[in-house]
Chain A
């Protein structure tokens, strides 16, 4: 469970996130929805400690390296797809045989066999996002934080990624501006506007709420 209290982020006296209280439960895909500039990505980055918070608290009962953040535009390292997926395990000084076993499991799960030796910089948007997800899952994190994972990819790749995400049964937070995607994937959503959480409900109820027309 992630508990957020009085969390604030200010840039040059401009408040971009101001969340009084938010509890994100385990074992589900929790959505954070809102329009451009609503503060959802900034909130996610503060949870991942990628940017410092101005004030407030984020309580997560896991080690910092058990939580992974997936960028909207993933950075692929300038090496093969295989090595990209192996990096998190190398960082944790896992032995070579285990690395090989786990990386190959991911390659199979994400159907990346045909491109595993290819330089990851030369992948399409959909392929990059699949490698990004495989790279995040390979070290079995406790939390996965996804920032618009399908924003820059085609419909076919979006469907594949959504199918994988649904099958994972892990603690996940999904930031998206796509309300229909939130409805397909999330059990609960927090609706954000101008840095504040307006409501937390099921995607269906949130969709009916007329406030969403303005985000």
Chain B
């Protein structure tokens, strides 16, 4: 209980202390997670909608694979990316191991199936009638895609929020490919892991509270928008 109270007190102090290290950790976390979400969303939107609406042989198998990948453990994705970018791996010459770039790649691959799976599902369930309505009203293919994105925006935002939640809170993938380099690749989750292992629970709890607050605020904005857009 004492640890919790101290953690809360320290969280407030940490936020307002002007401690550069803390702001760097928060900044790196947000930069990595938001960039990953942005990339994964840009890739997932057209592919998820297209595949959700398309009837093709093996769609059932594709769905099952996608669902499996949605639940892939971050550490497994981290290991997979590590094997490719490690010095001896096929992309070792790029020398991105232990960099923010590697962390973004790992997180993008981790959340890509989550965002794509959710968009795929919503397009499969609700897209056909929208597509047919657009077609009969004379929309071109590109106009239909824009309408589909607009009409499915609530589901898309939920997909993005889920992806962001996964990215900001995971530790396994970023730790494996980015390490925990102070001022470079340290993020909130690796900060918490490190301080907990060092017995500095107050700092861990403080950062956990900041992490939860950020996740709450970002999700709050997204869900507020979903609510407003339905009015």
Contacts and interface: CB of A to CB of B under 8 A. Distances in A.
Contact of B140 (A74, A75, A91): A91
Nearest to B140: A91
* 10 A-B pairs with the lowest CB-CB distances in the bound complex, closest first: A65-B138, A69-B136, A88-B137, A75-B133, A91-B139, A75-B129, A91-B138, A50-B132, A68-B136, A88-B138
B229 interface: yes
A139 B136 contact: no
Contacts of B138: 65, 88, 91-92, 139
B143 interface: yes
Interface string B11-47: 0000000000000000000000000000000000000
Contact of A50 (B136, B139, B150, B229): B136
A48 B136 contact: yes
B132 A135 contact: no
A83 B180 CA distance: 52
B102 to A, nearest CB: 40
Q: Which of A49, A71, A77 has the most CB of B within 10 A?
A: A77
A68 B136 CA distance: 5
Nearest to B136: A69
Contact of B230 (A50, A78, A88): A78
Contacts of A157: none
Interface residues of A, number: 21
Contacts of B132: 50, 69, 71, 75
A110 interface: no
Interface in B98-156: 129-130, 132-140, 143, 147, 150-151, 153
Contacts of A48: 136
Q: Which of B137, B150, B230 has the most CB of A within 10 A?
A: B137
Given A78-B151, A91-B139, A92-B138, A71 B133 contact: yes
Given A48-B136, A78-B229, A88-B138, 13 more contacts: A50-B135, A50-B136, A75-B129, A75-B130, A77-B151, A78-B230, A87-B139, A88-B137, A91-B138, A119-B231, A121-B230, A135-B137, A136-B137
B136 A91 contact: no
Contacts of B153: 78
13 contacts: A49-B135, A68-B136, A69-B136, A71-B129, A74-B133, A75-B129, A77-B150, A78-B151, A91-B134, A91-B138, A91-B139, A136-B137, A139-B137
Given A71-B129, A119-B231, A77 B136 contact: no
Interface string A69-96: 1010011011000000001100110000
Contacts of B147: 77, 87
A67 B133 CA distance: 12
Interface string A40-84: 000000001110000000000000010111010011011000000
A168 to B, nearest CB: 17
A136 B139 CA distance: 13
Nearest to A138: B137
A202 B138 CA distance: 33
A136 B138 CA distance: 10
Contacts of A49: 135
